[in-house]
Amino acid sequence: MNDCIRTSIRGFMSRSFEGREVADHDNIFALGFGNSLFAIQLVAYIEREFDIEIESEDLEMENFQSIDAVTALVGRKREA
């Protein structure tokens, strides 16, 4: 299941970053790929794609800084 989540998130980020490759553990914000607009788009994508609600307590930078982090967040939300 997490592989499907990871693949979907990786695809979204690849499209958002104009095809640039980002490793699953790379901090996208530290690398300069992410900004506040991207963060909003990412949250909207996650909610729509995985049919989950990102709540205010989920809006921590560490939940969105990498493909690994987003995959873990989606996994936790789906298990809840």
For residue 50, what is the domain's CATH number?
Answer: 1.10.1200.10
What number is the average pLDDT over the span 27-35? 89
Asked if pLDDT for residue 28 goes beyond 90, the answer is yes
pLDDT for the residue 57? 96
Q: What is the pTM of this model?
A: 0.91
Domain span at 68: 2-79
pLDDT tens profile 41-74: 999 999 999 999 999 999 999 999 999 999 999 9
Q: Are 4 and 49 in contact (CB under 8 A)?
A: no
- What percentage of residues in the chain have a pLDDT greater than 70? 98
Q: Are 65 and 30 in contact (CB under 8 A)?
A: yes
Long-range contacts of 9-18 (CB under 8 A, 24+ apart): 9/46, 9/67, 9/70, 9/71, 9/74, 10/67, 12/42, 12/45, 12/49, 13/67, 16/41, 16/42
Instruction: Indicate the number of domains in the chain.
Output: 1
